[in-house]
Chain A
Amino acid sequence: MASETFHSLGKLISWGRSHASEFQTISFDLFDTLLIRRIHDPDQVKLPVARYISSLAKQKGISRSWRWVQNLRDEVEQNQRRETGKTCADHEACYPGFMEETLKRIFGAHYEERLLDQVTRYELDMESRMLVPRKLLAEWLEELKESGKRVIIISDVYLPASHLRILVGNAGLLHLVETVISSADTFRAKASGEAFRLIQEQFDIDTSSWLHVGDNPISDGLRPQEFGITSLVIKDGVEKFRKALIKRYVNYSKGRPFYRGRALQQLMLPLEDENVERDDLYVEGYNFIGPMVGAFVQHVAEESRRLGLTKVFFFSREGYTFKKVWEQCMPILFPDGDLPEVEYLYVSRMALAGAACAHEGLTRTSASIAMLPPGNKNFHDICRIFQLDQERLAPHLQRHKLSADTCLSPLHEGYDQKHSVRLMELLEDEIFQQEVRFQTAAANHALISYLTDLGFFNHEQIAAVDIGWLGTIQRFLFNAVKHRSDCPRIHGYVFGATRGIPFDETLKNSLEGVMYDRHRFDLAASSILYARDVFEEACRAPHPTIEKYQLTEDGYELKFRTSKDATGMAEQEQDRFFSTLQQGIFDAARAYGAASALLGYRIEDYRPWFNYLLTAKLAFPKTREVLAIRHRHHLDDFHGTGKPMKEKLKGQESLWDQSGFSLRFSPFLRSRMFWKHIRTVIKS
Chain B
Amino acid sequence: MRRLRTDDFDLDGNRFFRVLKFNLVDKLLPIGNFRAGTGLKPGLVLLFLHWFGRPLFKVLIRYEPHLHRLYLKLGRSK
Contact = CB atoms under 8 A, between A and B. Distances in A.
Interface in A254-270: 256-259, 262, 265-266, 269-270
B34 A242 contact: no
A143 interface: no
A198 interface: no
Contacts of A277: 1-3
Contact of A522 (B13, B18, B32, B36): B32
Contacts, number: 140
B41 to A, nearest CB: 10
Contact of A237 (B19, B39, B61): B61
Interface string A264-282: 0110011100011111100
B31 A615 contact: yes
B66 interface: no
Contacts of A271: 5
A612 B50 CA distance: 19
Contacts of A288: 13-14
Contact of B11 (A235, A287, A611): A287
A259 B42 contact: yes
A287 B13 contact: yes
B31 A248 contact: no
Given A278-B4, A286-B4, A612 B22 contact: yes
B1 A279 contact: yes
B4 A275 contact: yes
A608 interface: yes
A240 B57 contact: yes
A616 B34 CA distance: 12
Contacts of B78: none
Contact of A245 (B9, B31, B33): B9
Contacts of B65: 217
Contacts of B32: 522-525, 527, 611-612, 614-615
B34 A608 contact: yes
A255 B1 CA distance: 36
B76 interface: no
B2 A258 contact: no
Contacts of A615: 22, 31-32
Contacts of B38: 256, 258-259
Contacts of A242: 9
Nearest to A525: B32
Interface of A: 7, 217, 235-238, 240-242, 244-245, 248-249, 252, 256-259, 262, 265-266, 269-271, 275-280, 283-284, 286-288, 522-525, 527, 607-608, 611-617, 620, 625, 678
6 closest A-B pairs by CB: A524-B32, A237-B58, A608-B35, A237-B61, A241-B57, A237-B57
Given A240-B61, A259-B42, A524-B33, 8 more contacts: A7-B61, A237-B61, A241-B54, A248-B46, A249-B46, A269-B5, A613-B14, A616-B22
